Amino acid sequence: MTLLAFGLYRSVVSSSGTPPFSACDDGVVARAVAAAAPGESPAAETELYRRFAPRVRLFGLKHLSDRGAADDLAQQVMLVVITRLRAGEIREPDQIGSFVLGTSRMMVAGQRRGERRRAAIIARFAPDEGTVEAAYDVALDSTRLAPCVAALRERERSIVLLTYYADKSATEIAAAIGSTAGAVRVSRHRALASIRECIEARRAS
């Protein structure tokens, strides 16, 4: 099926020059990068970057706890991934997601060991990412979020503040407000669901 899809991709490219990569599986996009001469499949590379750079950034945010470092990680990992795809070094392009995750894990582990940053790779192989949104809009618009947080019940508001602002665990929060860790988690889920609904409702109105 993927070969068929790739064949379709080739035929669409040849007929219109505009491959519909956004509608393709990850594997199709990865194989398009691998099949082309280096730098000859900018649309596929851009699509791969668009899909995976945000995920690497999130992974970096979780493990490096720094938005700048997470942005750097996303760029470094995607450069390695695209470079290795171009070189035909990825044996299973259909598993590109796993490969990107594995590369992310290795790089974070490397950074933690104090490994040198890969600035030289970036300088040498940096693809043109001018068409890609490199940094996402981090925080929600406070004018939309504030009334939704204000609408929470006191207990839920305390829990989300302690979780996402003071970075406390459910166990610590339970001790602080006289509850149990399980009840804190339930309240947190409920609070987040309320906030999302509230934001959607305000967007719709």
Number of chain residues interacting with other proteins (CB under 8 A): 59
Among 7, 119, 134, 136, binds other proteins (CB under 8 A): 136
Name the minimum Å distance from CB 164 to other proteins.
4
Tell me if 82 sits within 8 A of 33, measured CB to CB: yes
Which positions from 59 through 98 interact with other proteins, judged by CB under 8 A?
A: 59, 61-62, 97-98
Which positions from 145 through 184 interact with other proteins, judged by CB under 8 A?
A: 145-146, 149-150, 153-155, 157-158, 160-172, 175-179, 181
Note whether 202 binds other proteins by CB under 8 A: no
Which positions from 19 through 38 interact with other proteins, judged by CB under 8 A?
A: 22-26
Note whether 137 binds other proteins by CB under 8 A: yes
CA Rg, the chain, in Å?
A: 22
Among 30, 100, 107, 198, binds other proteins (CB under 8 A): 100
- Give the count of alpha carbons within 13 A of 20, CB side only: 10
SS3 for 70-106 is HHHHHHHHHHHHHHHHHCCCCCCHHHHHHHHHHHHHH
**Span from 83-91, 109-117, 120-128, 133-141 in contact with other proteins (CB under 8 A):** 133-141
- Sign, Cα dihedral of 143, 149, 151, 154: negative
Name the minimum Å distance from CB 41 to other proteins.
18
Note whether 58 binds other proteins by CB under 8 A: yes
84-91 contact pairs (CB < 8 A, 24+): 85/30, 85/33, 85/34, 85/48, 86/33, 86/34, 86/36, 86/38, 86/39, 87/38, 88/34, 90/30, 90/34
- CA–CA gap between residue 80 and residue 77 (Å, rounded): 5
Name the minimum Å distance from CB 180 to other proteins.
12
Summarize as ranges the residues that interact with other proteins (CB under 8 A): 22-26, 51-52, 54-55, 58-59, 61-62, 97-98, 100-101, 136-142, 145-146, 149-150, 153-155, 157-158, 160-172, 175-179, 181, 185, 188-189, 192-193, 195-196
